[in-house]
Structures are given as structure tokens and as C-alpha cells.
A and B are shown apart, each in its own frame.
Chain A
Amino acid sequence: MKTKALLIAAIFAVAGAHAADFSLSVPTFAGNPAGRIRVPVELSSAAGLASIRVQVNFDPALLVLEDAQAGALGKQFEFSYLVNAGTVTLMFVRSTNLVSGNGSLAELVFSANSGATTDLFSDLTIARFEVGDSTGVVDLAASKSLQTINGGVQISNSATIDNRFNGMPDAWEELHGLNPLTSTAMQDSDNDGVPDIMEFAFSGNPRQPDARQSQPKLDSATIGNSKYLTLGFRRPVNYGAVIYEVQESSDLIHWTTRSLAESLAASPSPRGDGTEDVTARASQPVGQSKKQFLRVRLRW
């Protein structure tokens, strides 16, 4: 029932956001002190536009704008920007009206003040939003509705901030040259057959084809007087929203799922480098069934 209520609320929110002909929005994201925060500037529709001008205000005592980059939609235009104390002006022009398009106009790349504490917040306020067509003279705002939705940056000490909820912490993505705003869990950046979410979950490197090193390894261990099939892997100490589950089967068709906590052969062993070694075991000792198979399932 609670889930249903949330869904209905979400549908209304989306409907409201698209009521205007041109709705420009900036979300509220979290960021670490001294950390990098990428914030998208998104437009509901750019159909019929040849010029867009946006000013976003931020708190310069808390945030430094390192860069502004054209997003997927912004790349349909020629893009330039200007930073002044606490403001960034984004300009997009093209010679003809865009037929259709929506999404990310720009990405604002901020770094947060290293001394920022978790109670600090900077509004990201859209202070200017102008659109024009290829005539250069028609006032589109006279016949079209423009809407702005402001956002902000909340300082947080969380080590696993994942503003786009793709399962991979933004800081880990930045560290490995992935864009937290556009990368997806199932993309395979190094083409080694291992999706990036698995690279993160098993402490691999999404930029190096290291599939073998980062995959869980099958082994066995004697626990008490019994020998068990085990599956060992390395994972980040701060694994964020990733949920590890252990599945076992005797025929590779029917699988039984247990939580990792239920399946641990021993407490995880920290390596001291932000990762830890984890060993899961089968629920039954070896020999109680003809065949045993173990695997790890990830959810996020």
C-alpha cells in the first residue's frame, strides 16, 4: 500500500514538471567536502529552439565551479559558458530550430569546500532562462510557458553518495573516469565481459580488462568437522546500495537464495585499502548431494 502511494505521488510530480512547454530543472544532489559533484541542467523539450540562455546561481563560499560541459541535448547546440562570482551563465546557439530533443543541456562540475560540514547547503537557483528561435526576433515566452525547478547541493559525509542511483558511488565512478550522470550499471567500459556494477562490487577496475582477477573464486573450506564449498571475493568496505546474495543449486536450474550474512564462512577480512575479503559457503557440507553449485547475485 505504501509503495502504491509513492508511485502515485511520483506520477503527479512528473505530470507537473512537464506541464510547461519548456521546463528547466536542476536537481538536489549530495556531495562530500572537497569532493566533486556533477549536477545536470535538464530541459523537458528543446523542440523549435535555436538559442537558450540559462543563469544558475550558487553559493561561492561552499562550491567552486570547476567546469561546465554540454550534456547530450546541449551538444546539439554550440555551447559556451561564463563563470562569475557565484553565477554561471550557459549559452546554447544553433543556426536552425531543433526539431525535437530533451534531457541534459549541461553538466555543472562543482567541487565542495574542503572545510564544509554536513549541515551546509547551497541552493542552485535558475535565475535566468531565455529561449529563442531561428528568427532571432520572436518572443517565444509570449506564447509558450517557461518553468524552472531549482535544486541544490547538500554536503554529506557519506562515502557512497550515488546521486543517480546506478548502484555505483559517484566518487568511485569519477575515480575511474566514468561520468556518474550518464554511466549505467550494466555498461562494460573496458569490454572485458564484466559489467561496471560488478567491477565495483568485486573491487575490479572498470577501465582495465581484469575479469579474471575480480571474479568470485570457488574453493572449499573445513568448518568444524565438515568440508564446505566456498565462494570468495573481494569487495569495497563501503559497498553502498549493493546487496550481495548467495545462491546455491544442485542442478543449475533451481536456485536457493540466502543473504550474504547467512552464508558467511567467516567475518569479512579487511585488507586495509578500503576493500575486504569475503568468503561465503554452501548451506550443506560437500557430499550431501551429488553436485553443488554456488554463485553470487547482486542487487542495487
Chain B
Amino acid sequence: MDGVLSPLFSFDPKAPTGRIFGSKSAPVLGDIDGDGDADFLAGTEGGALLYLRDPHLGRPADLSAVSGTNSILLNWAPDTQSRLRGYNVYRSDGSLVTWNSLLTDPIRLPTYRDGALVSGTAYSYRVTAVSYAYLPGNSTPKILETEPSDVAVATAGKVGFSLLGARGKPASYVKIPVSIQNSMGLRGTGMQIAITYDPNVLVPAVQSDASRKSVLKTGLSSGLEITDDGATANGTLTITGVSGAFQPGEGKLFTLVFKVKDSAALGVKTSVKISSAAVGSVAGNPQVVDISGSMSVEIAAIFLPGDVNGDGAATDADEVLLMELTMPEAVPTTEQLSAGDLNGDGKLTQPDVVLLKRLLEGLPVDESN
């Protein structure tokens, strides 16, 4: 708003309250939006409308829907209002006309797993926040529901894999995370993931040092029995599941360990990508696999996982910075995200701080290698 607006009205404490304000020539003070708070409505000389109301009651934001084997996981940003009672979750089968409530009572936390879905079907979701207010003279609260959130869509029976970027020094080992969006309900038997790389720049770790593994398991894959062909691979590394089940979660499923060749030139970006993947549910149903692009390993002089501040070492200072970057509204740089996202979920969150603490204390963050 530019300049100073002269108020057309002066504040009149005797102004009537309520919703009938269209013909008033005085500002109105009342519960205009029906949320139990006093709102203020007035006009300006320039014809603008001033409308002050409770800023906290808002529709849910940042709704995301992540596909799983036969479920879809929803997450959204928590509301900031103290009178929040919970959330209602609505689902549409795709028409976006009919929305069915999935809950009999609002849920309190901003996450919901919709289960028993038909594999291969796309579902749309939206969420509302529910709060309550005690209006004057009433002992029972007035229940209020916000406008619905933006729509989020996901397809059941779909599994998303991705590789995250990394940097590696010549003659050193580089770790490349293979991540999964939602590992719930998947089994190891029949799993196969093929990763292509440039053998002129990278070699699987076991080929450089027979005591090293080329594929490390993480918390999500700790219950799997797997094999890999790192010892003989030449451009394609294949991971094969033998048995076991995935732990439920999101993030790093495996860590690939390559050695950067001595001859690799600084600044070179070498492509690494998942060329194919197959995985089945615990019930034995094959899943549709969604592979998110390719990534590159940048050959750089200095890089350490956990070196969030880029000073060449992972230290307590990085932990402090990483903790700050996990706070609400923090916006990390690409470099900070790359160095700090130790659990491979594409975000900087508290679990990354846990893993950085482990790194600093010499505790394993993957299988020991």
C-alpha cells in the first residue's frame, strides 16, 4: 500500500457488531469471519476496504502425497493456531468434484497414511484445519473448519527411486546415496537396481580395495539380504535383493561407494544414474517404479559429507549450522543441502543432525566400511 490513506471513518466504539455491515457508514467491530475473534472492517477515502482479522487461522499448506505399495503418505505443514483441534482429510478418486472425508474425528498431527488402496490408481487429496472458539455466553465451542488446502495427487503401488548428487576427490572414495520415497511394504526378493556410471572416472570400491564394500545398507535396507556385482562391474553396478523386507521410511536406501580414479580431472562432472529398477511388495505384487532423473558426481578438490559450512572439514560448527538449517523457514543453499542431507531424503531435517553427530563421533552412518 503506497502513501498514507486518510480514513473515511473514525473509530466508533458504539458501532453495531455482527455481519450486517454493507450499509454502515462506520467501521464495524465483530466476529465477521465467525472464528470467535473480534474482527475489524472499515473503508477508506479511496474506496479500499480495510479488513483486519485473526491471522492465524489458515488453510493447511505444503500438502505432499507420497506413493507407497498400497498406501499413500500425506504430510503438510503444522498449523500455528493455539485453538487447533486437528485436521480433516478428504480424498477424491480423480473427479475432483466429489470429496469424501477419510476420518470420523479430526487427526491431531499433520500426517496421515491412507491405506488399502488400489494399486495403479491415482488419488487426490486435500486437507482442512479444524479449530474451535468459545463465543461469548456459550459453554460449548463453535467448531470451525478452514478452506481446503491445495490438492495433492499420488498413485498407489508406485515406488520412487532417486540418486543424490555428490562430489569426490581424485584418488578418494565417494559415497552416492540411492534414495527411496516410501519404502513401506516392500520386500527384498526380486529387487534389482542397476546403476550406470563412467568406468573411466569411477570404479566400485571393492575393485580398488577388496576389503571394502561397493554397496552399503542403511536403516531402511538393514533387514535385506542383497548381493552386488561390484567386483566385476564395468559401467553398470547391479544390486540384487535375495530376501527380507524393507523398513518403512523415506530417504537413503543404499550407499554406493566408488573410488574416483587418480586421473580424474578437477571440475569434471561424471554422470551416474539408475538405469533400471524393479521391486515388489511383501504380498508379491510388482510395483511401478518411478526413477527421478540422473545425477552427477563432481570431481572437486575438497568435499566432505557433513561439511555444511564448506570450510573443508566436518566439525561441531557444521552441526550448529545444520541445526539452524533444520529450523522452520530456513532456506539452505544447494551446497548446504548436498553436504547436510545425510539421510538422503532431499531435505535438511533433524535426522540429518543425528547422522552428523554420529559422523563427528566416529559412529557409522551406514554399514561400516
Contacts and interface: CB of A to CB of B under 8 A. Distances in A.
Interface residues of A, number: 44
Given A95-B363, A142-B248, A137 B351 contact: yes
Contacts of A245: none
Interface residues of B, number: 46
A24 to B, nearest CB: 10
Contacts of B83: 59, 123, 125
Majority secondary structure, A binding face: strand
A266 interface: no
B82 A86 contact: yes
Nearest to B342: A136
A94 interface: yes
A137 B81 contact: no
A230 to B, nearest CB: 51
A146 B112 CA distance: 12
A137 B252 contact: yes
B328 A125 contact: no
Interface string B79-106: 1111110000000000000000000000
Contact of B80 (A124, A127, A142): A127
A24 B83 CA distance: 18
Given A127-B78, A141-B111, A93 B354 contact: yes
Interface of B: 56, 78-84, 108-111, 113, 184, 218-220, 222, 247-253, 323, 326-329, 342-345, 350-355, 357-358, 360-361, 363, 365
A137 B345 contact: yes
A62 to B, nearest CB: 9
A78 B109 CA distance: 24
B82 A124 contact: yes
B352 A136 contact: yes
A57 B222 CA distance: 37
B109 to A, nearest CB: 6
Nearest to B84: A125
Contacts of A84: 80, 328-329
Q: Which one of A50, A95, A136 has the greatest number of beta carbons of chain B within 10 Å?
A: A136
Given A122-B82, A123-B83, A126-B108, A91 B251 contact: no
A271 interface: no
B365 A136 contact: yes
Contacts of A126: 108-109
Interface string A91-116: 10111100000000000000000000
Given A127-B109, A135-B219, A136-B219, 19 more contacts: A50-B351, A51-B351, A86-B82, A87-B80, A91-B350, A95-B357, A125-B81, A126-B109, A134-B358, A135-B247, A136-B342, A136-B354, A136-B365, A137-B345, A138-B248, A139-B250, A141-B111, A146-B109, A148-B108
A146 B110 CA distance: 12
A141 B108 CA distance: 14
Contact of A86 (B56, B110, B220, B352): B56
A208 B343 CA distance: 53
B252 A55 contact: no
A129 B360 CA distance: 26
A85 B219 CA distance: 36
A284 interface: no
A138 B220 contact: yes
